[in-house]
């Protein structure tokens, strides 16, 4: 596993400045945040901007294996799904230019998926959209990682993808060579899942991680050990399944309240903590 952090650690800054600030605190592996690729996409010549950004990665000696894709409900209204899919396909192209290998994507959910007919339709809609993204990704060398979510999103009760078996079904129904899972420890904590058991079930399909902590009451995006996640169990399971990808922090709740002038100190602490966790020094 490799210690990693998402570029939204300095969400107020430009993509370039955020990457420079993070690299200055010793980080060498990053996830490119949804907000930052959108910043580049909005510029006059985005293709050139993404090429320059990859050059900056090389200049700073950082690896960016993971990028967060756009968030939309692929089980929503057809026009919204079409528009969201077009943006996602555009983002996959940008990911390839950046050298990204894993594109994180949120599954969508229909209503009342407690009912078998609705669950089946939701599963089919996810497979259709994810299959489209995977086909594009396969041509560009970018894999799609479905993120586990949590119930209650978007006004729904049960939300598709909160249970790992739902994600695994979409993986099997699309292309397991190009579709896998990004495990979000914070979402799993809210769902009160047995995370070691879930990770062992996911096994070789695990492509990426979103590492965050909380106390179970909400998605607080805290640093490890600031909440109640069983980090010993999570790390043991990751090692058992042979996961070698980014151990990637997504911790806005821990970092964003810190004044920008001194936030670098906590970003540095986050690196030291993550390095110790990956090395087996804690917990």
Domains in the chain, start-ordered, CATH in brackets?
Answer: 2-278 (3.20.20.150)
How many of the other CB atoms lie within 10 Å of CB of 121? 14
* pLDDT at residue number 283: 85
* pLDDT at residue number 105: 98
* pLDDT at residue number 153: 83
* Phi, psi of 189, deg, nearest 5: -65, -40
Rg of the chain, C-alpha, whole Å: 18
How many of the other CB atoms lie within 10 Å of CB of 243? 21
Report the candidate in 73, 69, 71, 57 with the shortest Cα–Cα distance to residue 23.
57
The pTM is what?
0.96
SS3 content of the chain, % helix, strand, coil (to 5): 50, 15, 35
Cα–Cα dist 186/210, whole Å: 8
How many of the other CB atoms lie within 10 Å of CB of 262? 8
How many of the other CB atoms lie within 10 Å of CB of 43? 12
Per-residue pLDDT of the chain (283 residues; tens, 9 = 90+): 999 999 999 999 999 999 999 999 999 999 999 999 999 999 999 999 999 999 999 999 999 999 999 999 999 999 999 999 999 999 999 999 999 999 999 999 999 999 999 999 999 999 999 999 999 999 999 999 999 999 988 777 899 999 999 999 999 999 999 999 999 999 999 999 999 999 999 999 999 999 999 999 999 999 999 999 999 999 999 999 999 999 999 999 999 999 999 999 999 999 999 999 999 998 8
* Start-to-end CA span in the chain (Å): 16
Cα–Cα dist 253/220, whole Å: 6
């Amino acid at each position: 596993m490799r210690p990693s952090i998402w570029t939204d650690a300095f969400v107020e800054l430009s993509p370039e400045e955020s990457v420079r600030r993070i690299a200055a605190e010793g980080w060498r592996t990053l996830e490119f945040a949804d907000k930052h690729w959108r910043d580049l996409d909005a510029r006059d010549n985005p293709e050139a901007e993404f090429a320059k950004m990859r050059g900056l990665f090389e200049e700073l000696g950082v690896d960016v294996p993971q990028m967060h894709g756009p968030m939309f409900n692929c089980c929503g209204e057809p026009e919204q799904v079409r528009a969201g899919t077009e943006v996602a396909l555009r983002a996959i192209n940008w990911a390839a230019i950046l050298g990204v290998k894993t594109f994180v994507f949120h599954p969508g959910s229909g209503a009342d998926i407690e009912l078998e007919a609705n669950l089946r339709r939701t599963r089919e809609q996810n497979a259709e959209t994810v299959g489209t993204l995977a086909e594009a990704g396969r041509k560009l060398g970018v894999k799609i990682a479905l993120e586990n979510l949590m119930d209650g999103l978007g006004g729904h009760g049960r939300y598709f993808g909160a249970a790992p078996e739902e994600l695994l079904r979409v993986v099997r129904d699309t292309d397991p060579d190009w579709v896998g899972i990004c495990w979000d420890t914070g979402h799993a904590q809210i769902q009160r899942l047995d995370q070691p058991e879930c990770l062992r079930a996911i096994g070789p399909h695990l492509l990426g991680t979103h590492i965050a902590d909380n106390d179970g009451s909400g998605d607080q995006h805290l640093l490890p050990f600031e909440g109640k996640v069983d980090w010993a169990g999570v790390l043991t399971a990751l090692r058992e399944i042979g996961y070698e990808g980014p151990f990637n922090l997504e911790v806005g709740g821990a970092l964003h309240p810190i004044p920008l002038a001194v936030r670098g100190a906590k970003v540095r602490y986050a690196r030291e903590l993550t390095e110790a966790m990956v090395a087996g020094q804690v917990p």
